[in-house]
A = this chain, B = another copy of it.
Amino acid sequence: MEEVDLVNASGRVLAEDVVALYDYPPFDRSEVDGYAVLSSDVAGVDEERPAVLRAVGSVGIGEVPKFSLSSGECAEVSTGSILPRGADAVVPVEYTKRVGDLVYVYRPVAPGENVAQAGSDVLAGDVLLTRGTVLGPVELALLASSGIARVRVYRRVRVGIVSIGDELVEPGRGLELGKVFDTNSYYLYSSVRELGAEPVLYGIVGDDEVALERVLRRALEECDIVITSGGTSAGVGDVTYRVVERLSGGVLLFHGLKVRPGKPTFAAVAGGKLIVGLPGFPLSQMMIFNVLVRPILARLLGYTEPRTTVRATLAERVLGYLGVTRLVPVVLRRGPGGYVAYPLSYRSGSTSVLQVADGFVRVEGSVPFIEEGAEVEVFRLHTKWLADLVAIGSHDYLLSEVFRELSRSFTVKYVPVGSLAGLEAVAKGVADLGGVHVLDAESGEYNVPVVRKLGYGDRVALIAGYTREVGLAIARGNPKGIKGLRDLLREDVVFVNRTRYSGIRVLVDTYLERLAQELGITFEELTRRIRGYYTEARTHSGVALSVLSGRADVGVTLRYVAVRYGLDFIPLASERFDIAVNIQSLKKREVKLLIDYLRSDNFKKLVERFPGYRLAERTGELVVI
């Protein structure tokens, strides 16, 4: 327990009931600007027959009136003024007219009208807030209104955070083969702080009993509770339990939960303090943290977490695991009849799922499956409000800017993945829409064929987008005098390619095949003669960076990117970028606003600011497949 002033009390938890020090309002006060009167003086008046009263003074806000009113008199008052003695009501200024000292009153008031009686709102001694209340803006206002400047709050619980594993590396360092970055420390740090506790990071400990024991001892000494993650798998390198049991008074409470993911979770007590061991995979760790650790931390902080679940309709059947509780991450969407939860399939170590998941559903071990359409309880993974529009698909610079423009009217959850992953999300309804640019090699057409071939035609429509110019990016001034793709064959020219399956790579290979035919050689012979054909940049900007840094002389990228990096550019083709949209989402206000925007002059102007981008023939029109 400690005492803090109001300015430092945000997010803290009251350690005792707080009692009002003063009545509120502290005196009979006017609730309007107008004239304090004796209500009996204005009984029965109206527009035709006003009362005429003599103004004998005025009471400014914060002023103590030095006079009292007798019948026939009135006094000017402001909202918040003390009512002068004798007066029992206030006539709002709108219903009066003043001529010199005389005030005409055109409306009657009842006794007490427009007057807040002293103590009518809060009485001194009333319990204002009870112990265990989390102090937010409203609570602080309430305390201030009663003159309370300092409050006793619970001490902030200190939470030690330890990441365990030989494979872990701190972000910002280089990544050797076999290693992964420590993710859980940062999730836990931020979550613990959000809850109002004080996180203490102890960094990464390898699977080394001596080091782990040392760190745990220190964390237990300095903190009220310790959370570890990783190092709990049943396989190679598991040392945590042994260490925990060796700590003074160390007792393993449980080791292993009948929960998937989350099986290797453990809890122990050592030195009278709790140690919770979470799984190492980020999503597993998050789900178990939310189910198991959050409520404990809230308790330690002195409050009860309100139910952080929402009821939702399950969009797709989910299977259970016999005898084991299954936790299934979901995307939460607002539907016409309430929330809808879309189960996500993901790989257990996935981090990209973190970007998409809003929460998770429990499937009990006694249940073989939960049927599509069933009502389920969704545990939230974050406390953000849901975005109005969910966009999952290919990343594009112009589309990003469009969302930014529209974000004045609504919020967008924009998850950049590939075209194909985006299309699947849109088809399932997980996303409202997503950017797509997939060339169908057979027809040479963009986007429509792929939607059709994937069998999404009944669920997905396309909003006609725009084209983006693709071509050769070369150093400014073109020092090597590159004129076209043929120059890739030159001995003194180094190329930088894109990753297989990327849209640009497909295009590059199509051009090179044509070139091979022209030259009368095989594709393989051709590519073997191109220096750097096997050097693959991951992104548009990766190509530009290679050229800018001189590692390569030429690469294929967007004109927009070449310009942004100050490179010269030789156009090769234009690719079509459309927006796939779930037909259910076509009714949404946000989608209509997007379509309106794409058709607007503002968008035309925006496109002009994006080199290499051009409107399509029917930008903003709907292409039903």
Instruction: Mark A residues whose CB is within 8 Å of B.
Output: 6-7, 10, 17, 19, 22-27, 29, 31, 33, 58-64, 76-82, 93, 116, 119-132, 134-138, 140-150, 165-173, 175-191, 193-194, 201, 206-207, 233-237, 280-282, 286, 299, 303-308, 338, 347-352, 354-355, 381-388, 395, 400, 403-404, 407-408, 410-411, 414, 416-417, 499, 537-539, 541-542
- Name which residue of chain B comes closest to A338, CB basis: B338
- Cβ contact within 8 Å between B127 and A147: no
Determine the chain B residues whose CB is within 8 A of the CB of A237 once the complex forms: 60-61, 78
CA distance A63 to B236 in the complex (A): 11
CA distance A364 to B385 in the complex (A): 25
Q: Are B183 and A171 in contact (CB under 8 A)?
A: no
**With A121-B351, A537-B125 in contact, do A143 and B186 touch (Cβ < 8 Å)?**
yes
The quantity of this chain's copies bound in the complex is: 2
The smallest beta-carbon distance between A152 and chain B, in angstroms, is 14
Task: Give 15 CB contacts A-B under 8 Å.
Answer: A7-B189, A33-B236, A58-B236, A62-B167, A79-B280, A93-B234, A121-B350, A125-B537, A125-B541, A128-B416, A138-B355, A140-B189, A149-B171, A304-B408, A308-B385
Secondary structure dominating the interface of A: loop
* C-alpha spacing A127/B435, complex, angstroms: 14
Complex Cα spacing A35 to B65, Å: 89
Expressed in whole angstroms, the minimum distance between the Cβ of A625 and any Cβ of chain B is: 27
Cβ–Cβ contact B177 & A64, under 8 A: yes
The answer to whether B191 and A170 have CB atoms under 8 Å apart is: no
CA distance A206 to B77 in the complex (A): 17
User: Distance (Å) between the CB of A433 and the closest chain B CB?
Assistant: 15
Cβ A25 vs Cβ B180 within 8 A: yes
CB pair B280–A80 under 8 Å, yes or no, is yes
Smallest CB-CB separation from A336: which chain B residue? B311
CB-CB under 8 A from A191, the residues of chain B are: 137
A408 to B134, CA, bound (A): 15
Establish whether residues B385 and A125, one from each chain, have CB atoms under 8 Å apart when the complex forms: no
The answer to whether B541 touches A414 (Cβ under 8 A) is no
Chain B residues near A190 (CB, 8 Å)?
Answer: 10, 135-137, 140
Contact B307 A351 (CB under 8 A): no
* Residues of chain B within 8 A of A125, CB atoms compared: 537-539, 541-542
Partner of A10 from the list B184, B194, B307 (CB cut-off 8 Å) is: B194
Residue with the greatest number of chain B CB neighbours at <10 A, chosen from A79, A125, A137, A181: A137
Q: Is the Cβ of B33 less than 8 Å from the Cβ of A235? A: yes
Of B27, B131, B144, B306, the contact of A387 (CB 8 Å cutoff): B306
| A309 to chain B: closest residue by CB | B385
Q: Report the nearest B residue to A65, measured CB to CB.
A: B178
Contacts of A149 in B (CB 8 A): 170-172
CB contact under 8 A between A395 and B126, given known A7-B201, A180-B25: yes
Nearest-CB residue, chain B, relative to A31: B348
Q: Which 9 A-B pairs have the closest CB atoms?
A: A149-B172, A62-B167, A125-B538, A125-B539, A33-B235, A78-B235, A306-B385, A62-B166, A141-B187
B183 touches A127 (CB 8 A): no
Contacts of A306 in B (CB 8 A): 384-388, 411
Q: Which of B144, B186, B338, B414 contacts A140 (CB 8 A)?
A: B186
B144 in contact with A185 (CB, 8 Å): yes
Q: Which residues of B contact A76 (CB under 8 A)?
A: 235-236
Q: Tell whether, in the assembled complex, residue A307 and residue B82 are in contact, meaning their CB atoms are under 8 Å apart.
A: no
Which B residues lie within 8 Å of A234 (CB)? 33, 93
B539 touches A180 (CB 8 A): no
Task: Name the one of B62, B143, B179 contacting A165, with C-beta atoms under 8 angstroms.
Answer: B62
How distant is the Cα of A180 from the Cα of B347 in the complex, in angstroms? Answer: 60
- A541: chain B residues at CB < 8 Å are 19, 125
